Amino acid sequence: MAIDDCVVETSYGPVRGTGDVRAKTWKGVRYAAPPLRDLRFRAPQPPQRWTEVADATSFGPACPQPVVPNMPLDLGAPQGEDCLRLNIWAPAGVEPGDGKPVMVWLHGGAYLLGSGSQPSTTAGAWPPAATWWW
């Protein structure tokens, strides 16, 4: 699948993901403004719109979190405060507007630890057969 097939228009601007014969993937897609300065500890605000195609081929930063002794944690990405990102997988051949069901998955960690880019949770073996029952 050509990489141009994985450029989609969002409400905020175009994003480019990657794809193969099984699935298209967009990683690290910004869904809110970075929670910095006066935005810290407030409800997420919409990001600024963009016109250039944003790269969504790798995971965004994991949100800052404490180090827990005796519990090594591979977050799959560096930590950073600009972490309000999401990852999207879609079956190859699905186009915007096809009206397919959506599954929302939140990583574990009691809202204290973890990230959507952790190797054990990033759908590295996707698509599992059970997920694609449309």
> Can you tell me the distance from the alpha carbon of 40 to that of 53, in angstroms, rounded to the nearest whole number?
27
Q: List the domain range (segments joined by +) for residue 124.
A: 1-134
Q: Report whether pLDDT(128) > 50.
A: no
Determine the average pLDDT of the residues in 100-108. 77
Lowest-confidence segment of 32-46, 49-63, 70-84, 105-119 by average pLDDT? 105-119
Q: Express each pLDDT in 24-39 by its tens digit.
A: 889 999 999 999 999 9
* Whether 5 contacts 26, CB under 8 Å: no
Instruction: Tell me the whole-structure pTM to 2 decimals.
Output: 0.80
3-class SS letters over the chain: CCHHHHEEECCCCEEECEECCCEEEEEEEECCCCCCHHHCCCCCCCCCCCCCCEECECCCCECCCCCCCCCCCCCCCCECCCCCEEEEEEECCCCCCCCCCCCCCCCCCCCCCCCCCCCCCCCCCCCCHHHHCC
Number of separate domains in the chain: 1
